[in-house]
Amino acid sequence: MAKTRTVTTCQRKEPGYREVKERIGDYRAVELMLKNDEIRSQASRCMTCGTPFCHGFGCPVANVIPEFNEFVRRNRWKEALAVLLSTSNFPEFTARVCPALCEAACVAGINGDAVSIRQIELAVIENGFARGEMQPRPQQQYHAKTVAVIGSGPAGLTIADTLNRAGYKTTVFEKASRPGGILRYGIPDFKLEKWVVERRIRLMEKEGVVFETGIDAGQDISFNFLESRFDAIALACGAERPRDLAVPGRQLDNIVFAMDFLVAQNRRLNDEPVDPEKDITAEGKSVVIIGGGDTGSDCLGTALRQGAKEVFQLEIMPKPPVDRPASTPWPTYPSVLKKTHAHKEGGEQFWSVTTKEFHGRDGAVNRLTCARVEWQGQENGTTVPIEIPGSEFELNADLVILAMGFTGPGRNRIVDHLELDLDQRGNIKADDNHMTSRRGVFTAGDMNTGQSLVVWAMDGGRQAAQGIINFLGV
C-alpha cells in the first residue's frame, strides 16, 4: 500500500510552544499544534521503510506508523484513525505525554531528523474527535463473566477499555473522587489538560465501562467481596512508594514528595479539597527540586506558575551530551540532554550534585548543603558517585521537593491480604498472562513493572486484558 521513498521531501517542523510570558501565567497546555496541511507535509517525510523500526522496535504498543503516515499524506484521515486505533487505546494521551520512543527508532533519524510521529498521531486522533468519528460504540451483547479493575490510571483504563470491547462487563474501582489516576492527578495540566482525560472517561462510560470512585479497594470493600462478585480481578494501582533521601535534617517541615506537590495543584485546578497536611505551594519561596527527570521538570513548571521566588533543580547524574553517545546507538532511545518547556521558562539546573544535609529554622527547612560528585567505575563494572573534596556549597530552600522516582507499589491491603509474590524490588510478580500468584488475580502497569512510561503501562494493560480473556474464555 505504501509508496517507498528514498529521500525526505521537506524538513522536520516543530509545533513550538506558547510564549513564555503568556504560558507561565496559566496551567493550559504549552505545546501548540501544527495545521493539517503541515501535518500532511510532515507525514510525507516518512520513508515507509521495508523494516519500520518505529513500529517494531520503538513503539511499545506497536503502532502501525508507516501506514497511518501514508493515509495522512493522502488526506485520508478516517483510514489513518482506524489504523491508529487498531493498536492504541488512548492515542490522545500518548501523543501528549510520550517521549516518542518511536521517533528515536525512526530510520530517517540516522542521518537527519526523525519523522514527527508524535505530532502526526496527535493530529489523527484530534481530527477524529473533531470530525465526529469518535462516537460511543456500546457492546450489543456481553459475556456472562465480569471483571473488576482496581485503579484507573493508564494501565487500568486500558484493561477496562480492551475487555469492554471484547464483551466483558468491567467495573473500575478508584480510590480518588474522579477516575484517571496519574493522568488526572499526577501529570500537570500544562502537559495534559484534564478535559482530554474527562472526554475519554465519558466515552468509556457511554460504551459500557462502569466507574466506582471514592472506593479504596481492600478497605472500603474487601477482596472477598470482589471475588464473590467478579470472575477476575486486575490490580493496576501504580507505583506509589516514592524514593526518599536519608540525610540529616530529613525530618524538617516543607520537605515534600513530588507527587504530593503535583497532586495538590491538580486538585486545586479540579476544585477538589486538598489534604491540609499536603496543601503547600511554592509561592514566594526558594525551591529546590531534587531529581532531574520528567517529574522534576513537572515540579519546576508548577513551582514557576505558583510564583516561586527562585527554583533550583539538582541531579546526581552527570550532564548528558548534546549528541547521541555511542552507549545509546540508534535505534535505542538516546541518552542526550533534553531541555523541556519548563527549563526554558526559568530555574537553574545543577548536574553531578548530591545533597548531604538539610538545615532548618523553627522546625522547617531553610537551606541545604550539597557537594559535587564524579562518577567512577568499580571493579564489578558499576559506576558510583564519589564526592569531590572541597566542592561543598549551600542553597537557600524554603521548600524542597523530592522527585527521585519510586521504589515500588507501596502497601496495598489486597496485596497484603493475598500475600502475593513480589520481586526483589517489591513489584508484584506475574506470569506471561499477567496473572499473579493468586489464581484469577492479574496485574499490570507500574505495580507490576516498576515506575515507567504511560505508553508502557498501556502496553501492559493490553497484555493483561488478553491474559484475562485467555483465563475467562467465553
**Range of weakest confidence among 256-260, 286-290, 353-357, 424-428:** 424-428
**Residue-level pLDDT at 381:** 82
**Residue-level pLDDT at 6:** 41
Helix or strand run (H / E) with residue 184: helix 182-185
Q: How confident is the model at residue 8 (pLDDT cuts 50, 70, 90)?
A: low
Q: What is the pTM of this model?
A: 0.95
| Grid cell digits, residue 184 | 488526572
Q: How confident is the model at residue 412 (pLDDT cuts 50, 70, 90)?
A: confident
Looking at residue 46, its amino acid is C
Residue with cell 541545604: 368
How far, rounded to the nearest angstrom, does the alpha carbon of residue 153 sit from its chain's CA centroid? Answer: 10
- Hey, which residues does 229 pair with through a beta bridge? none
Predicted confidence (pLDDT) at residue 425 exceeds the cutoff of 90: no
Over the Cα atoms of the chain, what is R_g? Answer: 23
Helix residue ranges per DSSP H, 349-453: 413-418, 446-449
Percent of the chain with pLDDT strictly greater than 90: 89
Residue with cell 540516522: 110
Predicted confidence (pLDDT) at residue 432 exceeds the cutoff of 80: yes
Q: How many CB atoms lie within 10 A of CB 256?
A: 20
**Range of weakest confidence among 126-130, 260-264, 334-338:** 334-338
Residue with cell 491508529: 84
| Grid cell digits, residue 78 | 478516517
Q: How many CB atoms lie within 10 A of CB 202?
A: 11
Predicted confidence (pLDDT) at residue 5 exceeds the cutoff of 60: no
Mean pLDDT, range 91-96, rounded to an integer: 98
pLDDT tens by residue, 350-381: 999 999 999 999 999 999 999 999 999 888 88
Residue with cell 499473579: 436
| Grid cell digits, residue 31 | 505545546
| Dihedral in degrees, nearest 10, Cα atoms 324, 330, 331, 334 | -10
**Residue-level pLDDT at 461:** 98
Whether residue 200 contacts residue 178, with contact meaning beta carbons closer than 8 Å, is answered with no
Mean pLDDT, range 178-186, rounded to an integer: 97
Say which residues have a Cβ less than 8 Å from residue 174's Cβ, sequence separation at least 6.
151, 152, 156, 181, 211, 212, 213, 214, 215
Pairing mode of beta strands 406-408, 241-242: antiparallel
Q: How far apart, in whole angstroms, are the C-alpha atoms of residue 378 and residue 374? A: 13
**Residue-level pLDDT at 9:** 62
- Hey, which residues does 287 pair with through a beta bridge? 311, 399
- Domains of the chain are 20-130 (1.10.1060.10), 146-240+408-472 (3.50.50.60), 244-404 (3.50.50.60)
**Residue-level pLDDT at 278:** 85
Predicted confidence (pLDDT) at residue 2 exceeds the cutoff of 50: no
**Residue-level pLDDT at 312:** 98
**Residue-level pLDDT at 116:** 97
Task: For the chain, give the mean pLDDT.
Answer: 95
Predicted confidence (pLDDT) at residue 290 exceeds the cutoff of 70: yes
Spatial CA neighbour of 401 closest among 465, 306, 270: 306
